[in-house]
Amino acid sequence: MTVDGVTVTSPLISVRDMRVTYGDRLVSHVPELDVYEGECVALVGESGSGKTSALLAILGLGDFSGATVTGTVLINGVNVVDAPQAQLRRVHGTAITLVSQSPQAALNPTMRLGRLAKLSLKQHGVRGHEANVRIADALARVVLPDEILKRYPHEVSGGQAQRFCIALAVALQVQCIAADEPTSALDVTVQAEILRLLDELRRERNMAMVLVSHDLALVSTLADRIVVMKDGAVVEVGSRDEVLHSPKSDYTRELLAAVPVLGVTS
């Protein structure tokens, strides 16, 4: 593709007219969205506005919660909306993976973290020494001690569980992280570390990110582009600066105004 004489690589993820419905209730509609390598796109908006639903549909996991997804979502040329399982296997954990909203519930209660990490890498053909090195490296990046591998999910704090999920994505070396509220359980110093980490991953490995968050201030530090959602619809899409400094929709303005600031009691 060529824009203004400059060659642009094709997008990693390309969404067209994607609709997510539960029964006959449309909960999320994304008309058009492209995510390029190394780019961070954020979905923000009201609770229940369909951000998580959209993210899962983009991952090709819409069916998981009983949702019906229509439209197209191309990842590495695979339309994950209706791809057969054999093709999805080449997308999940390779092109894209998930970092979920509720940290502890996202991990299997009966499996030690180390075993989950090992199994995940093995699923993608990485084993033995190489797997150990990757896991150790990933843990170091998300600031967790190796000893955590021996624990069960209920034996780690919420923040530690979330960082472990991010470590899995790092160890798998995916091209894109789909993150649902990745830092909502982290304290601000660790959150800052994670944001920095995600930013580094983006720079070093050209990793793309689709970030769902309700925290506009947080999103504004990391995202290149922001998609604002309300009641299942996209009300605004724009570059970070456009959305923050010249918001077009009323809802975006409302969101910006409601951000609490330390030392200013509302």
Partner 1 sequence: MGRYLVRRLAQAALVVVGVVVLTFVIVRLLPGDPAAAYAGPRASPEDLARAREVLGLDKPVLVQLGMYMSGLVRGDWGTSLHTRLPVAHDLSIAFPASLELVGTALLFAVAIGIPMGLLAARYFGSPVDGGIRLGSMFVAAFPVFLLALIVQNLFATKLGWFPVAGEYDSKLDATSPLHLYTNITVVDALITGNWPIFLSTVHHLILPALVVAAYPIGVVTQMTRAAVSEESSLDHARLERALGFTPGQVLRRFSFRPSLNPILTLLALIFAYSLVNAFLVEAIFNWPGLGKYAVESIRSLDTAAVAGVTLIVALAYVLANLIVDIAQTFIDPRVRLS
Partner 2 sequence: MTADLLRADGVTLSYAKRAVVHDVSLELPKGPTGVALVGESGSGKTTVARALLGMIEPTSGRVMFGEMDVSQFSRSERAEYRRTVQPVFQDGTEALDPRMTVGKALAEALSVSPDAHLRGAARASRVSELLDDVGLDGGIVDRLPHQISGGQRQRVCIARALAVRPKVLLLDEPTSALDVTVQAKILDLLRRLQHEHSLTYLLITHNLAIVESLCSYTAVMFAGRVVEQGPTREVLLSPSHPYTASLIAALPRMGGQIPTAVGRADVGFAESGCSFRMRCPIAIDACLASPELASIGGRHVSCFRANDVNGDPSIVNSKEVTP
Instruction: Provide the binding-site residues for partner 1, judged by CB under 8 A.
Output: 56, 59, 61, 64-65, 85, 88-89, 92-94, 96-98, 100-102, 105-111, 119-120, 123-124, 152, 154-155, 165, 168, 172, 178
Distance of alpha carbon 6 from alpha carbon 47, whole angstroms: 39
**CB of 222 or CB of 229, closer to ligand ATP:** 229
**CB of 14 or CB of 102, closer to Mg ion:** 102
Q: How far is the CB of 258 from partner 2 (least distance, A)?
A: 4
Binding mask 146-175 vs Mg ion (x if CB under 5 A, - otherwise)? ------------x-----------------
Binding mask 191-230 vs ligand ATP (x if CB under 6 A, - otherwise)? -----------------------x----------------
β-partners of residue 41 are 210, 225
Place of tokens 């909960």: 27
Give the long-range contacts of residues 141-144, CB within 8 A, separation 24 or more.
Answer: 141/167, 141/170, 141/197, 142/166, 142/167, 142/170, 142/193, 142/194, 142/197, 143/190, 143/193
Q: How many residues does the chain have?
A: 266
Confirm if 197 and 144 have CB atoms less than 8 A apart: no
DSSP string, 237-263: EEEHHHHHHS--SHHHHHHHHH--BTT
Taking CB under 6 A as the criterion, the residue among 19, 51, 118, 202 binding ligand ATP is 51
Place of tokens 């998300």: 142
**CB of 208 or CB of 255, closer to partner 2:** 255
48 belongs to the binding site for ligand ATP (CB under 6 A)? yes
**CB of 49 or CB of 175, closer to partner 2:** 49
* Cα 195–Cα 177–Cα 159 angle in degrees, nearest 5: 50
Binding interface with Mg ion (CB under 5 A): 52, 158
Binding interface with ligand ATP (CB under 6 A): 22, 27, 47-53, 65-66, 154-160, 185, 187, 214
